[in-house]
Amino acid sequence: MNTNTNLASNLYNEENIEIVNTTPVVGLIPDTPYNRIMSFINEYESKNTRIAYTKHYKDMFLYMTGKLFQQLTYQDIKSINDLKVEGYRNFLRTKHKSSTINQKIFACKALWDRFKERRIIDYNFFDMKPLLITDNSYGSLTSQEIENLYDYCLNLPKRKNTKNMTLKLYFEFLYIVTCRKSAAQNLTWNQIKKELDLETGKMIYVITFLDKGKEIKKAIQDEFYQRLKDNYKQVGETSGKVFCGIDNATYDKVLKGFCKQYEIDKNRNICQHSIKGSGLDRIMAITNDINTVALAGQHTQLNTSFKKYLNKNRKYTSHPSYFLGKEYTIDKLEELDKDTLIKLIKSSGRDTILKLNLELEKLNQLNEIQ
pLDDT tens digits along 297-333: 665 554 555 555 554 444 545 444 445 455 667 888 8
Closest CA to 127 of 64, 65, 85, 75: 85
Closest CA to 182 of 259, 256, 243, 257: 243
Does one domain contain both 55 and 157?
no
Last residue of a domain, one of 254, 276, 307: 307
Does one domain contain both 167 and 258?
yes
Would 320 be classed as within a structural domain?
no
- For the full predicted model, state whether its pTM sits above 0.85: no
Q: Which regions in the chain score pLDDT beneath 50?
A: 1-25, 302, 311-314, 316, 318-322, 324
Would 126 be classed as within a structural domain?
no
Does one domain contain both 258 and 221?
yes
Would 130 be classed as within a structural domain?
no
Does one domain contain both 188 and 278?
yes
Give the pLDDT of residue 280: 83
Closest CA to 113 of 93, 103, 127, 99: 127
Does one domain contain both 278 and 348?
no
Sign of CA dihedral 48, 49, 55, 56: positive
DSSP 130: P
Express each pLDDT in 207-263 by its tens digit: 998 876 778 888 888 999 999 999 999 887 778 899 988 899 999 999 999 999 999
Would 127 be classed as within a structural domain?
no
Give the angle subtended at the CA of 165 by the CAs of 160 and 167, to the nearest 5°: 85
Does one domain contain both 230 and 358?
no
Beta carbons within 8 Å of 202's beta carbon, 6+ residues apart: 196
Does one domain contain both 243 and 356?
no
Query: Structurally, how many domains does the chain consist of?
Result: 3
Would 131 be classed as within a structural domain?
no
Length of the chain: 370
Q: What is the CATH number of the domain that holds 186?
A: 1.10.443.10
Q: How far is CA 293 from CA 237, 270, 354, in A?
A: 34, 20, 16
Give the residue numbers spanning the domain of 160: 143-307
Does one domain contain both 157 and 276?
yes
Q: Hey, which residues does 215 pair with through a beta bridge?
A: 210
Q: How far is CA 93 from CA 87, 88, 102, 248, in A?
A: 10, 9, 10, 30
Would 312 be classed as within a structural domain?
no
Give the pLDDT of residue 308: 57
Give the pLDDT of residue 313: 47
Give the pLDDT of residue 346: 87
Query: Strand, coil or helix: what is 29?
Result: coil
Does one domain contain both 101 and 226?
no
> Residue 253, class by beta-carbon neighbours within 10 Å (0-12 exposed, 13-18 middle, 19+ buried)?
exposed
**How far is 170 from 166, CA to CA, in rounded Å?**
6
- For 42-83, give the DSSP string: TT-S-HHHHHHHHHHHHHHHHHHHS--GGG--HHHHHT--HH
**How far is 125 from 85, CA to CA, in rounded Å?**
7
Last residue of a domain, one of 75, 100, 117: 117
Would 323 be classed as within a structural domain?
no
Closest CA to 65 of 88, 96, 41: 88
Give the pLDDT of residue 18: 46
Does one domain contain both 205 and 279?
yes
Does one domain contain both 13 and 87?
yes
**How far is 114 from 86, CA to CA, in rounded Å?**
20
Would 150 be classed as within a structural domain?
yes
**How far is 338 from 33, CA to CA, in rounded Å?**
78
Residue 236 CA neighbour count, 13 Å, CB half: 0
Does one domain contain both 162 and 301?
yes
